[in-house]
Structure 1
């Protein structure tokens, strides 16, 4: 359905307030391309979109949102006993032991405690697009802090690091496993490697309005610059990066996901509940392990407090109305996706244009997610 407010799609009975809030978000930024999808206990209750050239199945660059897909693959392998969280990474990947990294465990890696946020001199775009090339560069790099002593967001590299552990352990890529274990069974419109035939559905990323990104923002500190590859020559331009076909084709797990809000919401719904008659992907013990805090204090890269669970970002820190074990991940444009086991909500909001502040800090996520939780708890 559509209306004069520019919002298209449907909501279930009781979720009308969510549609109204989404309409207000669109009114605040009329040319914004955005999608909002929500499932409650596995059932679709919100499927909305707005903006020029947008539809529910338009594909957007989701940047770090794809980390959630990679972490679910790792969680399944841990659940099945294929990977051990407390085993040193170097047991699977001997080259990783260089520069004093031999004792770093998979748990520390997932908790962003390894200190391996980048490499001296930075990466090329070709390296950032290819998890194998990233892993090769990172294996010989010294950590930027003593592993285990602190934590900081491994923004561009965490996917490649964990993916290399998976590849060394079982001889298959995370992208392959994601497609086989998640994307195909659940018909997820979320891609770690976008097939050529789906390119016509891709909507290129748009930069933030002129002056919005840098207004009042100081020069980022050194660790932030390294983590976001801003110390490279030239520094990485995130808009250009996502709009490069080679990046979308390879689907680097940290930064190159492409998909829709519907795809992300369905993935998180499958993680915690019944979707299409299937049992939840994660058993209660696995869910408890991956959703307890593993890194407390201040993130050395982002400055956020208590930023991470195990791999996933802690959602209750950003959105206090969620359960303590809510987990998910944001994306650089202001996209946000999460599962809240307490309420049974799986939420995803995607944007075509960068938001000032980026990531899950896009202010409309607070408004939209709060409206969703109010409706879900009626």
Structure 2
């Protein structure tokens, strides 16, 4: 089965051009399957999906298809950390070592939770060689993180941390609440509300998971330095050698969330609506404001562009990846997925493809759809 697919789903009156833009993703391109969703004031206005779930184009993308979204999940992990903060488990100004004493090794004793959640801890990856399968051993990885010296003085600029970021958040969560990031998400946020997003995806959900196709070329990482090497280019920079099933089941809070555009748009609505989710005030407005506030701004030591970072989110004011509103925030995942929120218009959304692109952030497919939405407002 090939060609332009039938587009399924709904668009509220006035948003018809977005449906046309979504269908246009398949025109003369290698798009396979994808979904796109927008909520305003916590209510769905766009919920679209189309295409196929793998490069074989044998199975159509369905309403309940989910897909790995890689670093898009960092914004969801940050929401879990915000929920824990509201439960009184910690303050963002606390030092990581206040709750994880071993982390104080090698000059990291004063690193705050806020700095760790905004990529300022100096830990873009792991320095010591290891097997890629080592990432599946949480105790082993935590010991490596705790012992490692930062690559630059913490708090002096950002250096994007693709995977270590999530292990630090998870270590704090388990040492304060007693549960992992994935379990808290399931039990307190997503599960009770039927939100289809997982960090640690049960094997029962794997049959409806779309399979990625790799990008046509590698991303442009800019000038390669020690931080870039550890983050992306070492043989052990990312989990491997355990197969797709074990990778999906594992909890990598910064890197392997599974969901669809609808579920991510709903969760990102917490940023757009001062912590409200439906009738629930799930996070306090103050905590949401803290998460979105600028923690650091400037050239990143890993990614080849300037960033304005909150905690777990990239702020829109330096790159315009999330439409024209400078107050918007969001996060992209490897290959093109994204979730974003506009707190001015109380708008949230997500794009989730299975064809990966080579863009590190600001995938043109997502940007096209987001701009189409704003063109309808």
CA deviation string 1:174-215 (max 9, x = no partner):
111111111112211111111111111011111123xx336x
Please report how far the alpha carbon of residue 106 of structure 1 lies from its aligned counterpart in structure 2 after TM superposition: 0.8
Q: Report how far residue 318 of structure 1 moved.
A: 3.0
Residue 91 of structure 2, aligned match among 70, 78, 84: 84
Gaps of 5+ in 2: 53-58
Q: Do residues 172 (structure 1) and 179 (structure 2) align?
A: yes
1:290 is paired with a residue whose SS is helix
Report the Cα distance in structure 2 between the residues aligned to 1:91 and 1:157, rounded to whole angstroms. 19
Q: Secondary structure at the match of 1:65?
A: helix
Asked if residue 55 in structure 1 is aligned to residue 62 in structure 2, the reply is yes
| Among candidates 115, 118, 127, match of residue 111 of structure 1 | 118
User: What are the superposed Cα offsets for residues 100-140 of structure 1, whole Å, 9 maximum, x if unpaired?
Assistant: 11111111111211101122134533333454442221010
Q: Is the 8 A contact 2:316 2:328 kept in 1?
A: yes
What SS does the corresponding residue of 1:193 show, helix, strand or coil?
A: coil
Judge conservation of contact 1:62–1:256 (CA < 8 Å) in 2.
Answer: yes
* Number of aligned positions between the proteins: 366
Residue matched to 2:38? 38
Give the aligned partner of residue 82 of structure 2.
Answer: 75
SS at match of 1:346: strand
Provide closer, same or farther for how the CA distance between residues 179 and 123 of structure 1 changes in structure 2, counting only shifts above 3 A: farther
CA 1:144–1:48: 2 relative to 1, 3 Å:
same
Q: C-alpha distance in 2, partners of 1:151/1:277? A: 34
Moved more, 125-134 or 251-260: 125-134
Q: 338, 342, 345: which one pairs with 2:344?
A: 342
Q: Which deviates further from its counterpart, 129-138 or 140-149?
A: 129-138
Contact 2:36–2:261 under 8 Å retained in 1: yes
Question: Which residue of structure 1 aligns with residue 102 of structure 2?
Answer: 95
1:307 aligns to what SS in structure 2? strand
Structure 1, gaps ≥5 residues long? none
Cα distance between partner residues in 2 of 1:242 and 1:366: 34
**1:30-85 Cα shifts (integer Å, max 9, x gaps):** 54211101111111111111222312211111111121221101111223322111
Q: Distance in 1 between matches of 2:127 and 2:183?
A: 30
1:14 & 1:145 partners in 2: Cα distance?
Answer: 50
CA shift for structure 1 position 322: 4.1
Report the more deviating stretch, 289-298 or 123-132: 123-132
Asked whether 1:213 is paired with 2:221, we answer no
* Aligned CA distance change for structure 1 residues 48 and 262 (closer, same or farther; 3 Å): same
RMSD, matched Cα = 2.4
Cα distance change on mapping 1:30 and 1:354 into 2, 3 Å: closer
Given the two structures, how large is their TM-score scaled by the length of structure 2?
0.89
Match status 1:226 vs 2:218: no
